[in-house]
Amino acid sequence: MEENLSENMHAAAKIEHSSEVSKKECMDLLVPVGHIGAQLKENAQDCEISVKGLSDKCNSMKNTTEKTYICDLCGLVYYSKQKLLIHLPVHSNQQNNVFKKCGKTFNERKNLVRHLRIHENEKSFICDVCGKSFRDSKSLESHFCTHTGVKPYACEICRKAFSGRGELRNHLCIHLKEKPYTCEVCNKTFSRQPDLKIHLRIHTKEKPYACEVCSKTFARSSDLKSHLVAHSTEKPYACEVCSKTFARCGSLKSHLLTHSNEKPYACEVCSKTFARCGSLKCHSLTHSKEKPHACEICGKAFIKGNELKVHLRVHTMEKPYGCDVCSKAFSDARNLKTHLRIHTKEKPYVCEVCSKTFARSNYLKFHLLTHSKEKPHACEICGKALIKRSHLKEHLRIHSKEKPNACEVCSKTLSRSDYLKFHLLTHSKEKPHACEICGKAFIKVYEMKVHLRVHTKEKPYGCDVCSKAFSVKRNLKRHSRVHD
């Protein structure tokens, strides 16, 4: 054994130390598994001889500083020569060694060395790009892929690529429908341990990630990262065409495609073209109806990973995007962007028929249906047709008598969440919508809009028979009965 170890050594510096190392010191970390009786004694003697030989020759140690000792075989750094001497038996050619601290058994020396770093908290493999340190070369190698963008591990089922083998292993659980991690509180199962860890915060209400600027806390590090953008006004990436600035390089790249109008990625099914490969991938899933990103909490599935990320905030109650004007917070950056138009009065979406402007594209989309008189969503019970699917969903509750929204103050139940929202204001006596002309306040924004017509004299609802006009739709309905 002494000869085998000696062959792998080379001198780096002469270090004075005791030539005697006890059996107990050597056996503290490693003991062979199997023949525990006479074999244990024999191995202990071998171990003592090996270390004594190494102590005499000093061939396995490098002294990089006055108090730093490096093992030449695996690169582990020690700040005591005694610790290095205790470590050396790890590199013996003994098979089936068990690590006494945790009882874990290893057949290969390299695996034992890697495991040893977990207990010693040694991170001697350092990334040259960002300085982050790792316990073993494999972890450093996987991490380095985040800088190079290389993703060498591809899923054989869907061809999605990953930078680390562990990420691929976690991804495969989605296809295998395997969920080995169970929540002890609600018995919900998860395919990945990190997802279970995040889920548990719903029960514990733990929010370990705190914003250093405003002290707001978050359950997930990604939500904190998104929130920090709200504080930062720095946008170092500028478009050379229109001078628009962006906080992220990726956002600028996406924006540049709007100027070039280049769409090199074409869908093989419907021939629709896209500027980005990722957009084509997401679009392709609309044909296959596949939704690979499923919520581990409620099971809802999504085409895009980002959609799932935003959806998870429904469960965690995270709202990382805050309005600087009124402090209202949102779970999605797009909702904040739309909300800001309330303050700026911006309405970029224009109806080509009547020139009416809207703050949101979906408002324009539904408005256009009023011109076409199209109502694509019909009730199967009574035949009533509605413009929006959400309106149909609410209408169906008339037939089912379902009222899932309960008031916590008086226990009254309502069919719609917005009805509950307005109902709660009757308890608080709050009237958030005030008229800028006379100061009169209202619970609903619609009530305030109708009230404004008193000042503007606007009467948008005209009678088709006698041309009489009204400021409120219900007054027109009442008037129409005169002609019946």
SS3 per residue for 183-243: CCCCCCEECCHHHHHHHHHHHHCCCCEECCCCCCEECCHHHHHHHHHHHCCCCCEECCCCC
The half-sphere exposure of 338 on its side-chain side, counting CA atoms within 13 A, is 13
Cα 400 from Cα 15, distance rounded (Å): 86
Nearby residues of 228 by Cβ (< 8 Å), 6 or more positions away: 211, 213
pTM as predicted: 0.34
Cα 352 from Cα 333, distance rounded (Å): 28
Q: In 3D, which of 126, 97, 100, 129 has the Cα closest to residue 110?
A: 97
Q: Identify the weakest region by mean pLDDT among 8-22, 75-89, 138-152.
A: 8-22
Instruction: Return the biggest CA–CA distance within the chain.
Output: 116
Query: Strand 189-190 vs strand 209-210: parallel, antiparallel, or unpaired?
Result: unpaired
Q: Which domains occur in the chain, in start order? A: 124-204 (3.30.160.60)
On whether the CB atoms of residues 230 and 218 are closer than 8 A, the answer is no
Would the pLDDT of 221 be above 70?
A: yes
Q: In 3D, which of 121, 52, 61, 47 has the Cα closest to residue 90?
A: 47
Q: Identify the weakest region by mean pLDDT among 81-90, 195-204, 474-483.
A: 81-90
Percentage of the chain surpassing pLDDT 90?
A: 0
- DSSP category for residue 61: E
pLDDT for 441 equals 87
Structure tokens at 303: 């085409």
Nearby residues of 370 by Cβ (< 8 Å), 6 or more positions away: 387
pLDDT for 32 equals 38
Taking CA atoms, 329 is separated from 81, 231, 314, 332, in Å, by 57, 13, 13, 9
Query: Strand 349-350 vs strand 329-330: parallel, antiparallel, or unpaired?
Result: unpaired
Mean pLDDT of the region 343-356 = 84
Q: Which tops the pLDDT comparison, 343 or 46? A: 343
Structure tokens at 308: 């799932």
